[in-house]
């Protein structure tokens, strides 16, 4: 594949990287005819990479089990589970990666489920990380 065509396809498919571009071209059946070059030069991508700000936040890593707990609300889709619940509260330990899933009927019940989860623990975590739907 000529580099000019690769650059045009890269821009047309939303400035994807090489691996995503390969998957897109495979989906459309173009990889049978072409080989994608290893380097695709794009002025727009180079400018945005040069202006990208460094990450200023810090990521805390848990030193022991139960120190940091991540909480999440999982939506299984429109179909309810066998017990009638449509959602699940997912609690993940930051060190061991162990997961506890508690079914809930409505997302408004998440506060009650969190209190129930914290009551089950022997010691309270130092930090609870919530994504707040983002």
Domains of the chain: 3-51 (no CATH), 68-130 (3.30.420.10)
User: In what order do the strands lie in the sheet containing 68-75?
Assistant: 99-104, 87-93, 68-75, 127-130
Tens of pLDDT, residue by residue over 70-111, are 999 988 777 777 888 888 999 999 999 999 999 898 889 999
Tens of pLDDT, residue by residue over 106-132, are 889 999 999 999 998 888 999 999 876
Considering only 22-31, 35-44, 49-58, 70-79, which range has the smallest mean pLDDT? 49-58
């Amino acid at each position: 594949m000529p580099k000019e065509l690769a650059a045009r396809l890269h821009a047309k498919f939303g400035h994807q990287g090489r691996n995503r571009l390969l998957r897109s071209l495979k989906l459309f059946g173009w990889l049978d005819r072409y080989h994608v070059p290893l380097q695709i030069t794009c002025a727009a991508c180079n400018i945005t990479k040069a202006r990208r700000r460094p990450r200023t936040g810090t990521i805390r890593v848990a030193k022991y089990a139960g120190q940091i707990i991540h909480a999440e609300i999982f939506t299984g889709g429109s179909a309810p589970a066998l017990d009638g619940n449509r959602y699940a509260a997912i609690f993940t330990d930051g060190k061991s990666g162990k997961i506890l899933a508690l079914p809930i009927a409505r997302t408004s019940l998440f506060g009650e489920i969190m209190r129930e989860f914290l009551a089950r623990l022997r010691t309270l975590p130092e930090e609870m990380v919530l994504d707040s739907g983002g």
